[in-house]
């Protein structure tokens, strides 16, 4: 009888524990639907406050919070979702978010921002419509030093251990996605689109961030598909399709002293009709900085104007044209490996380094780039480069 009593007690305890445990874990996940906070998907009224109230409650929840944006079209002014939060935040976009088009609302540098958050997920398959055509005429920074900043579609500042996936961004006013001071962020299955003539519409812009992974992404835009500027460290890029756009770029570097970009790996990518492919660029003149340990490999180029490019004479304005040999950015340990396809210009490989600090340990390994235009086969051009070439070299290596 005693044994039977213990058995019954044990069974009851197990059932009670299982039920309590299930209730506990269920309570950890809670949905915060923006419609419950007054959001209306009528493509007319501003929903910023409803979104922010949903975020505020979700951020205080002691568990996993799902900020849920259902199907429909929501107008949204600039919003900043800030932490730290009490638990994991999951931002699910099913509908379409539309940015403002009135010029009075272009003075901010961010449309949708996330700041000071650990364990953030942004996903859902929805659209971010930056409505950039209303703002692009105001992008005159190349001529106007007092130009106003245009809003980045989605900005992540001081965000860690997070994922962004299954999203579509169209017609950004500025960059589609900007990462600043982030660590351990994974971006995948996103599509970023803007016309090839749209100004400064970088796909993904990375600065002062570490351990960033970008994969399975399509970027068709008017500036760099991916740009990595100072403080970008340990960046892994794979299975990205770029074009139109200005390529996957490191830089520009050298505007301020002590800039560092290091540990960049770009693999298994495709460039179609882009202005550049694999590119490193530094200002001329520039201040002392470093770009090192960079790998571009297993890359297909289709009709790319500059498939392989190191440009230490980057000078988009006339003001620096008389000091083109004055870059002080040290570029070293750079490999271009197994890159093939077609170039839309005769010079398919350009390694134009600094006279003050020549590029060191640049490797060309199995390059096969064809040019079918006038003037004969593709060529390569080197200036102030120390390095080697291995395997097949078409065009013939200039190293």
Residues known to be catalytic:
246
CB 329 within 8 A of CB 288: yes
Assigned token pair, 118: 């650990």
Token representation of residue 84: 């730290």
What are the distances in angstroms from CA 8 to CA 2, 5, 14?
Answer: 10, 5, 10
**Secondary structure (3-state) at 325:** coil
Cis peptide before 353 (omega within 30 of 0): no
Question: Within a 10 A sphere around the Cβ of 267, how many other Cβ atoms?
Answer: 17
Gap between the Cα atoms of 236 and 211, Å rounded: 8
Instruction: Evaluate whether 190 touches 169 at the Cβ level (below 8 Å).
Output: yes
282 in Cβ contact with 314 (< 8 Å): yes
How is 255-319 classified by DSSP, letter by letter?
Answer: SSTT-EEEEEEEES-EEES-SEEEEEEEESS--SEEEEEEEEEEEEEEEESEEEEEEEEE-SSGG
Rounded Cα–Cα distance for residues 337 and 368 (Å): 10
């Amino acid at each position: 009888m005693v044994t039977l009593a213990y058995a019954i007690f044990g069974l009851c305890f197990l059932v009670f524990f299982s039920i309590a445990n299930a209730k506990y874990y269920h309570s950890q996940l809670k949905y915060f639907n923006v419609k419950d906070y007054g959001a209306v998907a009528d493509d007319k009224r501003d929903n910023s406050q409803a979104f922010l109230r949903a975020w505020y409650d979700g951020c205080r929840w002691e568990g996993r919070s799902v900020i849920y944006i259902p199907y429909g079209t929501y107008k949204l002014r600039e919003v900043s979702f800030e932490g730290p939060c009490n638990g994991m935040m999951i931002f699910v976009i099913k509908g379409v978010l539309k940015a403002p088009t009135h010029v009075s609302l272009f003075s901010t540098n961010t449309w949708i921002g996330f700041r000071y958050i650990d364990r953030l997920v942004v996903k859902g398959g929805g659209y971010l419509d930056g409505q950039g055509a209303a703002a692009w005429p105001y992008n005159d920074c190349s001529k106007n030093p007092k130009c106003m900043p245009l809003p980045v579609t989605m900005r992540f500042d001081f965000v860690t251990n997070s994922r962004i996936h299954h999203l579509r961004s169209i017609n950004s006013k500025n960059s589609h996605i900007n990462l600043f001071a982030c660590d351990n962020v994974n971006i995948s299955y996103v599509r970023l689109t803007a016309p090839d003539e749209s100004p400064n519409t970088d796909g993904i812009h990375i600065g002062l961030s570490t351990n960033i992974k970008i994969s399975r992404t399509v970027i068709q835009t008017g500036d760099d598909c991916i740009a990595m500027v100072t403080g970008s460290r340990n960046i892994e890029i794979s299975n990205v399709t770029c074009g139109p756009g200005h390529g996957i770029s490191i830089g520009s570097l050298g505007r301020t002293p002590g800039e560092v970009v290091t540990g960049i790996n770009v693999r298994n990518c495709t460039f179609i009709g882009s202005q550049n492919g694999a590119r490193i660029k530094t200002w001329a003149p520039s201040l002392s900085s470093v770009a090192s340990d960079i790998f571009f490999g297993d890359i297909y180029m289709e009709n790319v104007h500059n498939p392989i490019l190191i440009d230490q004479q980057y000078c988009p304005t006339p003001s620096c044209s008389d000091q083109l040999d004055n870059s002080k950015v040290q570029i070293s340990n750079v490999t271009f490996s197994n890159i093939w396809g077609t170039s839309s210009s005769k010079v398919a490989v350009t390694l134009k380094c600094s006279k003050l600090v020549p590029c060191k340990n640049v490797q060309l390994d199995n390059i096969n780039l064809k040019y079918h235009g006038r003037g004969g086969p593709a060529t390569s051009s080197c200036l102030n480069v120390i390095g080697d070439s291995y395997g097949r070299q078409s065009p013939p290596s200039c190293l």
